[in-house]
């Protein structure tokens, strides 16, 4: 409300000034009406829910800023609209909510293996090498080495692939093959790369399901009769031993509407060509009558009778969308192939796994008490739609299931322990997401941690526009179960774990290289605690205390670089990050320390800035 009172007083002052111009000129000789007193405002304000809603967009919905909606992109305009009477030299210290994204498991790519990826395992010359089996799934690292030329330690990727326990691809020469992955038009109204298409009633369509494209035709919703032709480009059959195969999926069967035909004299006119009906060589399902079946092989037909000739394969659909003669079965056609060896169809299942680059190679991610990647079996245990689709979505969010799941699977937990859950999130397609949970011993529950904390950032008005003063103050509150502080300290602990692992305790949330603790959210400077880790043999108390204070300024940049990678110098001003924090040596004292931003994501200790807060 403070800002509203300020505006009311400014409006009143403006009204009195305008109303009193003539009076002042008449009664005060030398009065200059052009000289207006400066309104230099010093604004201190905390944004409310109504303010976030006024800003709009994702900020208005979430009621916080984030890396995807930075405050500096919104608050200068908001200040101009809210404090429009402020003059040059005004300042504003705005406190707002900001969601910190702990980057340890962020931006993990989601890769669906392609036919080209599988050739890394099998090589070339196979007809259906689009899956892994029990004997080669352990060589996933070869595919990842080919996809990522210069991986960095702790790089991660989730891989979706097709799997058959004992399936084997077939080797042979492929004369012709079409999988329609490069076809883009949903309704196909013009010829495609030598194909012939014609249709009355409805159009042929390119459709996609589960990252697989195919062609589809149906008389459903058509007004009256439908007659549609799909004819391949000419296929030269130089010798015997070649076969024709293709895949089909049927939906809402109510009549046999599709025939497969072969011609050797087709020249663009389906009525003038001589066609041989070869439908009987293939299995066209007569089910399901409701919903869709599964894309599967329609069978294999020998082409020995056509050796030395060029053939055209046609798919001819005849149906009717009218109620009095309803024949509307949907046919989906894919993977048309002519080859000298076509293996029996290999039944596969979709699998996925998270892989991590350790510096020595790519390995499947290993779960721990601090990070869990959900497996297919985990989703199936959860049940419902997550168990059916092996993912979460907006209608079945992870937060609804994870507290109960972690209670069973996160191992023995102490109060304040955190666990990051990595999972598949569906939003038009699968992607990798993660959430952090914190354990509360009093309630024996794992609670979702949104990592939203308050920050204060100063802005200045130059007479034309508000500009941010990018110096930041970070208040690390001391105590247990404070996720915002724990995120900061855990970043320091993780750096020590990666570089000096012998200094990290078995709990994984505190260390004695710097003394940081993401459990108590402070620095532990007790001499006996440092000596108890067994990493300082022979060092006496005075010597160890000196080492603590010597190392302390070196600790904070590891968290700042991790959590504030976009911090950057600003022309014309120094940018400082001030951190207020606690040190425990039997009792807690609060200290402050400053770092100057000297490059993007680079921080330099300001000598002499480490002081006790009186």
Radius of gyration of the chain (CA): 34
pLDDT at 29 over 70: no
Distance CA 518, CA 488 (A): 8
pTM here? 0.53
User: DSSP string of 96-114?
Assistant: EEEE---GGG-S--EEEPP
Strand order in the sheet with 156-163: 110-112, 156-163, 349-357, 362-364
In a domain, 1, yes or no: no
Interval 145-174 mean pLDDT:
92
Q: What is the mean pLDDT of the chain?
A: 89
Domain-terminating residue out of 308, 327, 361: 361
Interval 342-366 mean pLDDT:
91
Task: Name the nearest CA neighbour of 392 among 404, 379, 403, 405.
Answer: 379
In a domain, 49, yes or no: no
Q: Strand (E) positions, 195-305?
A: 196-200, 204-209, 212-217, 225-231, 235-237, 243-251, 258-263, 276-277, 296-302
The neighbouring-strand residues paired with 452 are 99
Give residue 3's pLDDT: 39
Q: Are 501 and 596 in a shared domain?
A: yes
pLDDT at 264 over 70: yes
The neighbouring-strand residues paired with 570 are 573
Give residue 21's pLDDT: 42
Phi, psi of 263 (to 5 degrees): -135, 150
Q: Are 273 and 198 in a shared domain?
A: yes
- What percentage of the chain has pLDDT greater than the value 70? 93
Q: Which residue has the tokens 């007659």?
A: 227
Which residues have a Cβ under 8 Å from the Cβ of 113 and sit 6 or more positions away? 143, 159, 160, 161, 162
Give residue 335's pLDDT: 92
In a domain, 482, yes or no: yes
In a domain, 227, yes or no: yes
Quote the tokens at residue 81.
Answer: 């609209």
Give ∠ CA 598-93-583 in degrees, rounded to 5. 65
Domain-terminating residue out of 361, 393, 408: 361
Structural domain containing residue 597: 474-614
Q: Are 531 and 544 in a shared domain?
A: yes
pLDDT at 274 over 90: yes
pLDDT at 8 over 50: no
Phi, psi of 460 (to 5 degrees): -130, 150
> How deeply is 179 buried, as exposed, middle or buried, from its count of CB atoms within 10 A (0-12, 13-18, 19+)?
middle
Strands 225-231 and 516-517: unpaired
pLDDT at 54 over 60: yes
If one compares 31 and 202, the residue with the highest pLDDT of the two is: 202
pLDDT band at 210 (very low <50, low <70, confident <90, very high): confident
At residue 304, the 3 state secondary structure works out as helix
The count of structural domains within the chain is 4
pLDDT band at 325 (very low <50, low <70, confident <90, very high): confident
pLDDT at 444 over 80: yes
Give residue 81's pLDDT: 95
Q: Which residue has the tokens 């429009």?
A: 84
pLDDT band at 17 (very low <50, low <70, confident <90, very high): very low
Which residues have a Cβ under 8 Å from the Cβ of 8 and sit 6 or more positions away? none
In a domain, 39, yes or no: no
pLDDT band at 571 (very low <50, low <70, confident <90, very high): confident
pLDDT band at 553 (very low <50, low <70, confident <90, very high): very high
Distance CA 455, CA 595 (A): 17
Range in 22-36, 81-95, 521-535 with the lowest mean pLDDT? 22-36
Task: Name the nearest CA neighbour of 471 among 488, 456, 482, 492.
Answer: 456
Q: Are 153 and 128 in a shared domain?
A: yes
Q: Are 182 and 331 in a shared domain?
A: yes
Distance CA 350, CA 433 (A): 19
In a domain, 23, yes or no: no
* Helices and strands: H and E segment counts in the chain: 13, 32
Interval 247-252 mean pLDDT:
97
Q: Are 483 and 612 in a shared domain?
A: yes
Give residue 102's pLDDT: 66
Q: Are 179 and 270 in a shared domain?
A: yes
Give residue 347's pLDDT: 84
459-494 confidence digits (pLDDT tens): 888 889 998 877 777 889 999 999 989 999 999 999
Q: Are 204 and 335 in a shared domain?
A: yes
Phi, psi of 140 (to 5 degrees): -55, -30
> What's the longest Cα–Cα distance across the chain?
116
Q: Are 575 and 531 in a shared domain?
A: yes
The neighbouring-strand residues paired with 43 are 92
pLDDT band at 103 (very low <50, low <70, confident <90, very high): low
Q: Are 488 and 567 in a shared domain?
A: yes
Task: Name the nearest CA neighbour of 480 among 522, 511, 521, 446.
Answer: 521
pLDDT band at 377 (very low <50, low <70, confident <90, very high): very high
If one compares 142 and 201, the residue with the highest pLDDT of the two is: 142
- What percentage of the chain has pLDDT greater than the value 90? 70
Q: Are 161 and 193 in a shared domain?
A: no
Give residue 15's pLDDT: 34
Range in 126-135, 309-318, 515-524 with the lowest mean pLDDT? 126-135
Q: Are 305 and 393 in a shared domain?
A: no
Quote the tokens at residue 72.
Answer: 């500096």
**Spatial contact of 306 and 237, defined as CB atoms under 8 Å apart:** yes
**Spatial contact of 386 and 379, defined as CB atoms under 8 Å apart:** yes
Q: Cα torsion for 531, 536, 538, 540, to the nearest 10°?
A: -60
In a domain, 223, yes or no: yes
Distance CA 144, CA 117 (A): 9
pLDDT band at 125 (very low <50, low <70, confident <90, very high): confident
Please report, for the domain that includes residue 229, its CATH number: 2.60.120.200
């Amino acid at each position: 409300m403070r800002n509203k009172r300020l505006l009311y007083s400014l409006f009143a002052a403006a009204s009195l000034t305008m109303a009193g111009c003539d009076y002042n000129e008449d009664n005060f000789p030398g009065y200059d009406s052009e000289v207006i007193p400066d309104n230099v405002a010093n604004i201190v304000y905390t944004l409310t829910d109504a303010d976030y809603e006024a800003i709009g967009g994702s900020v208005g919905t979430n009621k916080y800023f984030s890396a995807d909606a930075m405050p500096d992109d919104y608050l200068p305009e908001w200040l101009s609209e809210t404090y429009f009477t402020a003059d040059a030299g005004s300042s504003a210290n705005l406190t707002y909510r900001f969601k910190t994204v702990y980057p340890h498991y962020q931006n993990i790519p989601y890769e669906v293996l392609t036919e080209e990826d599988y050739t890394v395992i099998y090589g070339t010359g196979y007809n259906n090498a689009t899956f892994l089996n029990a004997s080669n799934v352990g060589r996933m690292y070869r595919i990842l080495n080919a996809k990522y030329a210069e991986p960095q330690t702790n790089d991660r990727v989730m891989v979706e692939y097709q799997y058959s326990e004992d399936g084997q691809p077939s080797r042979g020469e492929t004369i012709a093959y079409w999988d329609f992955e490069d076809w883009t038009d949903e309704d196909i109204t013009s010829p495609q790369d030598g194909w012939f298409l014609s249709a009355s009633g409805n159009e042929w369509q390119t459709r996609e399901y589960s990252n697989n494209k195919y062609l589809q035709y149906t008389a459903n919703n058509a007004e009256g009769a439908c007659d549609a032709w799909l004819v391949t480009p000419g296929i030269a059959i130089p010798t015997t031993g070649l076969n024709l195969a293709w895949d089909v999926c049927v939906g809402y069967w109510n009549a046999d509407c599709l025939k497969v035909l072969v011609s050797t004299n087709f020249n663009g006119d389906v009525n003038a060509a001589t066609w041989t009906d070869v439908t009987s060589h293939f299995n066209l399902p007569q089910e399901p009558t409701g919903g869709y079946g599964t894309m599967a092989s329609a069978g294999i037909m020998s082409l020995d009778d056509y050796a030395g000739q060029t053939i055209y394969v046609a798919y001819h659909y005849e149906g009717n969308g009218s109620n009095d003669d309803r024949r509307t079965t949907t046919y989906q056609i894919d993977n048309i192939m002519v080859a000298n060896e076509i293996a029996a169809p290999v039944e596969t299942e979709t699998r996925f796994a998270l892989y991590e680059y350790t510096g020595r190679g790519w390995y499947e991610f290993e779960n721990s008490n601090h990070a869990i990647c959900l497996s297919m079996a985990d989703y199936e245990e959860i049940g419902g739609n997550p168990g059916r689709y092996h993912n979460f979505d907006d209608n079945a969010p992870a937060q609804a299931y994870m507290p109960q799941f972690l209670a069973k699977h996160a191992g023995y937990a102490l109060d304040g322990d955190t666990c990051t859950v990595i999972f598949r999130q569906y939003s038009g397609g699968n992607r990798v997401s993660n959430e952090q949970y914190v354990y509360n011993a009093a309630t024996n529950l794992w609670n979702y941690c949104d990592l939203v904390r308050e920050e204060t950032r100063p802005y200045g008005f130059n007479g034309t526009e508000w500009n941010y003063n990018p110096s930041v103050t970070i208040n690390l509150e001391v105590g247990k179960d404070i996720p915002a502080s724990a995120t900061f300290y855990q970043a320091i602990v993780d750096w020590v774990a990666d570089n000096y692992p012998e200094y990290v305790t078995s709990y994984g949330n505190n260390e004695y290289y710097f003394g940081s603790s993401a459990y108590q959210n402070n620095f532990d400077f007790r001499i006996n605690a440092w000596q108890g880790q067994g990493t300082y043999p022979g060092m006496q108390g005075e010597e160890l205390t000196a080492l603590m204070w010597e190392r302390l300024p070196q600790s904070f940049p590891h968290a700042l670089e991790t959590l504030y990678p976009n911090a950057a110098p600003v022309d014309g001003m120094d940018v400082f990050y001030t951190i207020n924090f606690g040190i425990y040596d039997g009792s807690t004292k609060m200290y402050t320390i400053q770092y100057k931003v000297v490059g993007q994501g680079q921080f330099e200790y300001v000598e002499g800035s480490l002081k006790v807060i009186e």
